[in-house]
Amino acid sequence: MSSLYIESTPSEVSKANGIHLLTYSSPNGQKVQILLEELALLYGIQWTTSIINIMQNEQKEDWYLRLNPNGKIPVVVDNCRSAPFPVIETSAELLYLAEKYDKDYALSFQDPLERSQMIQWLFFWHGSGAPPYGQLWYFSKFAKDKNPAAIERFRNETLRVFGVLELHLSGKNSDGQPREYLAGSGKGRYSLADIGAYPWVAKWEVTGFEKKDMEAFPSVLAWLERIEQREAVKTGTGDKYQKKP
Ligand SMILES: N[C@@H](CCC(=O)N[C@@H](CS)C(=O)NCC(=O)O)C(=O)O
User: What pLDDT does 2 receive?
Assistant: 62
Q: What is the pLDDT of residues 197-228, one digit of tens each?
A: 999 999 999 999 999 999 999 999 999 999 99
* 26 CA from centroid of ligand 1 (Å): 9
Boundary residue ending a domain (55, 88, 106): 106
In a domain, 238, yes or no: no
Comparing C-alpha atoms, which of 143, 5, 128 is closest to residue 75? 5
In a domain, 239, yes or no: no
Indicate whether 227 and 127 sit together in one domain.
yes
Give residue 245's pLDDT band: very low, low, confident or very high (50, 70, 90). Answer: low
- Rounded to whole angstroms, the Cα distance separating 150 from 83 reads 44
Boundary residue ending a domain (73, 106, 139): 106
Indicate whether 89 and 167 sit together in one domain.
no
**Residue-range definition of the domain harbouring residue 217:** 112-233
Task: Write the secondary structure of 192-238 as one string of H (helix), E (strand) and C (coil).
Answer: HHHHHHHHHHCCCCCCCCCHHHHCCCHHHHHHHHHHHCCHHHHHHCC
Q: What is the CATH number of the domain that holds 145?
A: 1.20.1050.10
Statement: residue 1 has pLDDT above 70: no
In a domain, 242, yes or no: no
Indicate whether 43 and 99 sit together in one domain.
yes
In a domain, 240, yes or no: no
pTM of the model: 0.97
Boundary residue ending a domain (106, 140, 167): 106
State the CB neighbour count (10 A cutoff) for residue 203: 16
The DSSP string of 101-146 is H-TT-SSS-SSHHHHHHHHHHHHHIIIIIHHHHHHHHIIIII-SS-
User: What pLDDT does 176 receive?
Assistant: 80
Q: What is the DSSP letter of 19?
A: E
Count of domains for the chain: 2
Give residue 105's pLDDT band: very low, low, confident or very high (50, 70, 90). Answer: very high
Q: Is residue 199 within 6 Å of ligand 1 at its C-beta? A: no
Q: What is the pLDDT of residues 160-188, one digit of tens each?
A: 999 999 999 999 988 789 999 999 999 99
Q: What is the CATH number of the domain that holds 56?
A: 3.40.30.10
In a domain, 19, yes or no: yes
Q: Is residue 30 within 6 Å of ligand 1 at its C-beta? A: no
Hey, which residues does 22 pair with through a beta bridge? 50, 75
Q: Is residue 68 within 6 Å of ligand 1 at its C-beta? A: no
- Rounded to whole angstroms, the Cα distance separating 193 from 187 reads 14
Counting from 1 in the atom list of ligand 1, the atom nearest the Cα of 27 is 10
Indicate whether 101 and 139 sit together in one domain.
no
